[in-house]
Amino acid sequence: MSRPTPEHYVAPFEGNDIIEIDAKQLPDRRSNLWLDAWRDLRRRPLFYAALIVALVVATMAFFPTLFTQVPPNDNCQLPLGTRGPNMGAPMDGHPLGFTLQGCDVYARVVWGARTSLTVGLLVVAITAAIGIPMGALAGFYGGWVDSFLSRIGDIFFSIPYFLAAVVVMTVFSEHKNVFVISFAIGGFAWASLARLLRAEVLQVKNKEFVLASEAIGRSKFSTLIRHVLPNSLSPVIVSLTVSLGAAIVAEAALSFLGVGLGSNVMSWGNDISEAQTTIRTAPMALFWPSLFLTLTVLAFITLGELVRDALDPKARARR
């Protein structure tokens, strides 16, 4: 197997001045977009605050029994007799008081996290499942594919997605469940994600590594999947984090209007809607679910904004 190779003259390696200059100047630490962003995030206290809130809410959603032993619907009839000037006031074992029906506010708030997070994650999954292919294909292939997909996106983009969800939920009023409501929200919210990704893909597809990938014989589609898409995902991830918060608000707002989840489902929106009638007499039943809803949304939106900032080298340089 060893072919006789012609002998070459190789300059002696030692004692060559050029070697010093020729050696690659590697930075002492590894560096790429995500690593830099992570380093930036770790320095911001706001990031930890938002992360903790998000984790607490996630734990509440998965293991509500860690937080409360009171079943959310069980003793709803109990303190009806205690109405009066002191209605809904907290008592032992019920730290946040009671709703008009006498349900324990704390238990309902804890159990409500599951609904909100489920709907939020489902909406994000639907938004990504429709928006990413639509945006990526439109941006990468261009031409008539782009015109066709972008016009479809324009149509969905032109309908305010909350109004669209109201119509869908009105039509499906007999099938209110987390899947229908998630489709009602995500089925219209994907258009802005598709627009965002299309713009990003348009920029990335002209980079040298895309040309190189095609030059070594990779098919166009495979180039899109292996090289273009992974390099265009950062704004998508930011947008999806923010839309998780937005989806939770949308679910609560729909439930608040009475076209969201049925009143038998534990949901912050339902509870807020119910408590609005007692805003004068028992404002706390309105306050607590509102607070949890707001904190959750704030946590996800803040995470999204911070990651957006951290991923933007221009913004980093300014700080």
Partner 1 sequence: MLRYVLRRLLQAVPVFLGTTLLIYALVFAMPGDPILALFGERTPNPAVLEALRAQYNLDKPFIVQYFLYLQDVFTGNMGATFSGRSVNDVLAQAMPVTVKLVIMAVVIEFFLSVVVGLISGLRAGKIADNVSLVIALIFNSTPVFVAMFLAQYFVGIKWGWAPVTVGGDTTWGAMLLPAIVIALTIFVTGMRLMRGSVIEAQHEDYVRTAYAKGLTSRRVIPVHVMRNSLIPVVTNTAASFGYLIAGTTITEGIFDIPGVGNTLYQAILRGEGPTVVSFVTVLTIAYVVLNILVDLLYAVLDPRIRYV
Task: Give me the residues that bind partner 1 (CB under 8 A), please.
Answer: 46, 151-152, 154-156, 158-160, 162-164, 166-168, 170-174, 245, 249, 252-253, 256-259, 272, 276, 279-280, 283, 286, 290, 293-294, 297-298, 301-302, 305, 318-319
Annotate 214-247 with b (16+ C-beta within 10 A) or e (fewer).
eeeebeeeebbeebbbebbbbbbebbbbbbbbbb
- Residue 302 CB, shortest distance to partner 1, in Å, is 6
CA angle 75, 76, 82 (to 5 degrees): 100
Closest CB to partner 1 among 178 and 301?
Answer: 301
Closest CB to partner 1 among 229 and 240?
Answer: 240
Closest CB to partner 1 among 233 and 257?
Answer: 257
- Residue 273 CB, shortest distance to partner 1, in Å, is 8
**What tokens appear for 166 in the block?**
């109201």
- Residue 284 sits at φ, ψ, to 5 deg, of -70, -30
Closest CB to partner 1 among 44 and 218?
Answer: 44
- Residue 19 CB, shortest distance to partner 1, in Å, is 41
CA angle 222, 224, 225 (to 5 degrees): 65
Closest CB to partner 1 among 181 and 253?
Answer: 253
- Residue 282 CB, shortest distance to partner 1, in Å, is 11
- Residue 182 CB, shortest distance to partner 1, in Å, is 16
Closest CB to partner 1 among 30 and 318?
Answer: 318
Instruction: Confirm if 306 and 44 have CB atoms less than 8 A apart.
Output: yes
> What is the radius of gyration, based on Cα positions, of the chain?
27
- Residue 28 CB, shortest distance to partner 1, in Å, is 26
Report CA-CA distances (Å) from 89 to 105, 191, 290: 10, 46, 17
Instruction: Give the residues across from 91 on adjacent strands.
Output: 94
